[in-house]
Every structure is written in structure tokens, then in C-alpha cells.
Amino acid sequence: MPRVAPAAHQEALRRAGLPVRGRLADLFALLRASPDTHLRLAEVAHMAAEAGLAATPVEIDRQLKTLADHGLLSRLPSTAPEPVFDTVPEPHFHLVYEDPAQIVDLDVSPETLFAILRNALAERPDSVEIMVRFRAIRSRPRTQPSGNGASS
């Protein structure tokens, strides 16, 4: 069944220089519709299978990397063997819990972030790690010829 991505998704894909229709666009729409914003490949592959997207995990892995390389997803720094992709590509704050495994977005002001950090350090001084990530300055993505997804 042909799918049509919402206009906002098509515009984001167009601005990134990616095809607005096809398997990559279908996957992007699926990711944007997900209530979970931090996803590993296995989770995305499961979501894609449930949604009826015909793609192997290898293809999905390549599509996720393409979306990340074009700024439509971000990759969370991780020590896990498998990358975690973030469907919110703009820089934002995270709390990462190891047990149980959970990543939480913090949509707060810098002042609130500092209060959260002070509280976490006071409550769990031996188990809090803080990492500040400085993202690379992203150049404008190259325009690619239209096609049917990222596969070649």
C-alpha cells in the first residue's frame, strides 16, 4: 500500500536533500510517529515489521544512518554495542538510567537543568556521571538525486 508522509515530514526530508517518498520516507514517518524517541536498531526493526514496512534489519540500519547523517535523527553517545538513535535531532538534555535501562529527554531551562544536576549529585554522588557533548558544526547537506529510499 503506498504511504504518503505528512507534509511536515516531506518538508524535513526535502530540506535534508532526501527523497520525500519511498522506503526511507516511510521509515522516517514511522519514527516521527513513535512515542519513544530513543530507539535501537532492533526496536526500529520491530516497529517497521509491525507497520508492514518491507525492510531487512541491514536496510533499516543503513536508513537510520542515512537519516542521522542528514540531521533528521541524532545518535546518542553510548557505550552500548548498538547505537541509540534519537528522533529529536536538535540538541537537548538527557537523563540516562542504566537500571532499569531508560533514556529520558529533559525539556527544561538551563536553570532547571542545573537544579536537577545539583539534586542528582546530592542524592546519588557515587552513581552520577555527567558528560557534556559538543556537537560538530553541521554543514548543509548535499542535495541528492531523487530516488526510492537510501538503497542504491
Comparison of 2 and 35: residue with beta carbon closer to Zn ion = 35
**105 sits near Zn ion (criterion: CB under 5 A):** yes
The position carrying cell 520525500 is 20
**Residue of 16, 30, 63, 86 interacting with Zn ion (CB under 5 A):** 86
Q: Distance between CA atoms of 34 and 4, rounded to whole angstroms?
A: 16
Question: How many residues lie near Zn ion (CB under 5 A)?
Answer: 3
**82 sits near Zn ion (criterion: CB under 5 A):** no
Comparison of 91 and 145: residue with beta carbon closer to Zn ion = 91
Q: Count CB neighbours of 87 within 10 A.
A: 20
Stretch that binds Zn ion, among 19-27, 83-91, 131-139, 140-148 (CB under 5 A): 83-91
* Inter-CA distances, 80 with 38, 40, 62, 75, 129, Å: 13, 10, 18, 12, 16
Q: Distance between CA atoms of 40 and 38, rounded to whole angstroms?
A: 7
**72 sits near Zn ion (criterion: CB under 5 A):** no
Counting every residue written for the chain, the total comes to: 152
For Zn ion, the binding residues (CB under 5 A) are 86, 88, 105
